[in-house]
Amino acid sequence: MNDNSLRNARVHNTVVVIITAACIGAVIESVTQGWEFWVPPLIVCCIIATWVLHIIQCGTWVFRENYYLIFCMIVSFYHGVHSSSFFDVAIVSILLMVIVTLLRRQDFIHLVLAEFFILIVLQIVMALKHGEFQWDSLYISRLVLHITAEIGIYRVLNDIVRNNRRDEEELELRNREKETTRVEMEDFLVNISHELRTPVNVINGLSTIILKKENREDILSIQDAGLRLSRQIEDIQDYSEIQRGDVKLEEDKYMITSLLNDLIAGFQSWKKNKNIDLIVDLDPSVPALMRGDAGKISKVTRHILENAVKFTRRGGIYLKVSGIRRDYGINLAIEVTDTGIGISRNDIDKISNGRFQANTKRNRSTGGIGLGFSIVYGFVRAMNGFVNIDSKKGKGTTVKVTIAQEIIDPSPCLSVESDKFINIAFHVITDKYKVETLREFYRSMATNLATGLRINLYSAPSLHELKKLMDRGDITHVFMGAEEYECDPAYFDSLAAGDVTVAVSAHDGFSVSRGSHVIVMPKPLFGCPVVKILSGDTEDLLLPPAEEKRPELEGVRALVVDDEPMNLVVASGLFKEYGMIIETAECGRDAIEKFSNNDFDIVFMDHMMPEMDGVEAMKRLREIAIEQNKIARVVALTANAISGAREMFMREGFDGFMSKPININEFERTMNKVLPAGILDQEGGRA
């Protein structure tokens, strides 16, 4: 409810009470004076109708005000036409003008004044007709006084109403100007961010191509800066869409394990602070396949994690993903707890109301543009979810997001594919953690994973306790950190050389002894690589499950269409890494000509191009494919990454959608969908 609606509600409450009191007085006077007997019941019915209209808010507020005022004027006229009310006419009329002033209805204040003079004339005529008019000075002076008071009060109240209306119009004009300015600024931000995407995409793409050939620190820095700028441009677009109410959901099937794998692989900011750990606790019972907007869920999670990293100097960040089954699907819960500086109650209220502005000084040191929580709340509300923040200054913060999702495949997202008996020893030296909460994070993650997988887990808080467990002879797996391994590398190497699987969770750069069979799991500690190890798969521990394997694209003939030459260089370079045969076109007409004269397995089409845009070019390619008995597979490859873009392109007839800069995981998933295994061999599409 806006400010104007609140004011109308308060004024209507007052007006209805005044009307009720005045009408009850008219009913009492009518009964005591013996006026028309059938009128009081009508007045009572109209009073009841007034309250009903007011309580149920029937019709518009203008309709209700018209009813109130017309009803009052009728009762006022009824009261004023009786001779005993001669000197009450002015009092009733002034009361009626007060009601009109409260409602700010200048049109009615003139009608009330006109009604007053009509009633005065009628009273004088009736008095003269019945010989009751008194020509003494007191009678005349009282009449003149009432008329003068009526006109004076009318002038004052009329000026008040007119001034209020003028102030309202000026305020409304200023609000419209502010809204216009805000919309223009948001349009500017959207347009400028869209224009910036092209050069940023080129920087990211070229740096990726160079890094595939040689690993250079300076190129890594360029790539890191480009990716950071790309995310900030995307944040500006997301924030603008939320402010304008243009958020559109792109719901599709997704695997929660793939979503988390992609998120963790791309989330590198926590590694810059060696004093904090990231722990990912995925409940194995979460459904393997769900339907929802995976892109927005990923963005929401990333923003919460980035905020936790910004304000956590030591300790850790605990990401927990769980769910509660419901008849309609599942309430997916994403919970991030940190050991940072915390948020005050006042700031939490500002965040929930969308009025939170990050501390500028603090933001300079931590990076970012302060839009994270605004985007989180905007996206979660668009998905009909809930955000809850629990925090204490100096004690850390917990942000929990709950979103309803449809279940496609109810089977567990994590399961051990092994018939062997499994007993796990979780070897973590508790004294090594300076922040006690971090120890609880690791314990909860390990316990929840073991419970969900229904396997035995034994805690070994010291090397002595671990050796006692190993002497029992039934431990099959040992999981530990780098510090634990370095306490006695020879012992753990000997265990790994036998029948026990030993895995170490460590930061990049850690290595075990030469020739050791100990498995190194890159941090963060996460259920997916643990399950792979338990299932006997020790390769590519951070890659998604089998459904997302690298596509076989050797010999695939592709046409890349883009009006920006550097985008063609980037896309061609990336696609050639997969053994694809690439040809390029710089406009829609060029693409049509090349498609007509050649056979392509797939076409990557830019959207915003001069003369003929990507949608029109795609439709023309499909017409040519029908005429020449070809198959046209067209994937939109565009910087237009606003909400609803994917759905819009798919609705237009594209076979797939990829946003720039090209994300390798997204590219591989798209190719697996658009070019299923074996389809090219059947069509003779490979060279």
Does residue 533 fall inside a structural domain?
A: yes
Does residue 441 have a pLDDT over 60?
A: yes
Same structural domain for residues 576 and 540? no
Separation CA 497–CA 532 (nearest Å): 19
Same structural domain for residues 492 and 530? yes
Among 412, 435, 463, the domain boundary falls at 412
Same structural domain for residues 364 and 490? no
Same structural domain for residues 589 and 672? yes
**Which has the closest alpha carbon to 562: 604, 600, 592, 597?**
604
How confident is residue 542, by pLDDT bands cut at 50, 70 and 90?
very low
Same structural domain for residues 270 and 407? yes
Does residue 432 fall inside a structural domain?
A: yes
Same structural domain for residues 115 and 60? yes
How confident is residue 281, by pLDDT bands cut at 50, 70 and 90?
very high
Among 547, 567, 593, the domain boundary falls at 547
Please check whether residue 342 is in contact with residue 396, taking contact to mean a CB–CB distance below 8 angstroms: yes
Q: Average pLDDT for residues 337-347, to the nearest whole number?
A: 84
User: In this predicted structure, what is the pLDDT of residue 401?
Assistant: 94
Query: Is it true that the peptide bond before 524 is cis, omega within 30 degrees of 0?
Result: yes
Tokens found for residue 219: 């190129």
- H/E stretch holding 90 reads helix 89-103
Same structural domain for residues 384 and 447? no
**Which has the closest alpha carbon to 255: 672, 595, 598?**
672
- Residue owning tokens 């606003």: 642
Does residue 685 have a pLDDT over 70?
A: no
Does residue 680 have a pLDDT over 60?
A: no
3-class DSSP assignment, residue 550: coil
Among 133, 154, 169, the domain boundary falls at 133
Q: Give tens-digit pLDDT for 42-91.
A: 999 999 999 999 998 888 888 988 999 999 999 999 988 888 887 788 88
Same structural domain for residues 461 and 394? no
How confident is residue 167, by pLDDT bands cut at 50, 70 and 90?
confident
Overall pTM > 0.95? no
Same structural domain for residues 397 and 471? no
Does residue 138 have a pLDDT over 60?
A: yes
Same structural domain for residues 577 and 631? yes
3-class DSSP assignment, residue 120: helix
Does residue 374 fall inside a structural domain?
A: yes
Helix axis angle for 106-129 and 61-80, nearest 10°, is 10
Does residue 354 fall inside a structural domain?
A: yes
The two most distant CA atoms of the chain are separated, in Å, by 128
Same structural domain for residues 445 and 507? yes
User: In this predicted structure, what is the pLDDT of residue 545?
Assistant: 41
How confident is residue 132, by pLDDT bands cut at 50, 70 and 90?
low
- H/E stretch holding 20 reads helix 3-33
Which residues share a beta bridge with 637?
Answer: 658
Domain count, the chain: 4
Please check whether residue 379 is in contact with residue 296, taking contact to mean a CB–CB distance below 8 angstroms: yes
Does residue 168 fall inside a structural domain?
A: no
Domain region containing 303: 252-412
CATH of the domain at 598: 3.40.50.2300
Q: Give tens-digit pLDDT for 365-398.
A: 444 456 788 889 889 999 999 999 988 887 889 9
CATH of the domain at 330: 3.30.565.10
Does residue 379 fall inside a structural domain?
A: yes
Same structural domain for residues 591 and 514? no
Q: Average pLDDT for residues 195-217, to the nearest whole number?
A: 77
How confident is residue 343, by pLDDT bands cut at 50, 70 and 90?
confident
Out of 157-161, 202-206, 279-283, which region has the weakest mean confidence (pLDDT)? Answer: 202-206
User: In this predicted structure, what is the pLDDT of residue 478?
Assistant: 92
How confident is residue 364, by pLDDT bands cut at 50, 70 and 90?
very low
User: In this predicted structure, what is the pLDDT of residue 584?
Assistant: 93
Separation CA 414–CA 578 (nearest Å): 30
Does residue 171 fall inside a structural domain?
A: no
Tokens found for residue 74: 């009728």
User: In this predicted structure, what is the pLDDT of residue 541?
Assistant: 54
Q: Average pLDDT for residues 13-35, to the nearest whole number?
A: 90
Q: Average pLDDT for residues 572-579, to the nearest whole number?
A: 86
Q: Give tens-digit pLDDT for 598-648.
A: 999 999 998 878 888 889 999 999 999 999 999 899 999 876 655 566 778
Does residue 394 fall inside a structural domain?
A: yes
User: In this predicted structure, what is the pLDDT of residue 383?
Assistant: 92
Query: Is it true that the peptide bond before 661 is cis, omega within 30 degrees of 0?
Result: yes
Separation CA 414–CA 399 (nearest Å): 24
What average pLDDT does the chain have? 83
Helix axis angle for 61-80 and 39-56, nearest 10°, is 160
Helix axis angle for 3-33 and 39-56, nearest 10°, is 170
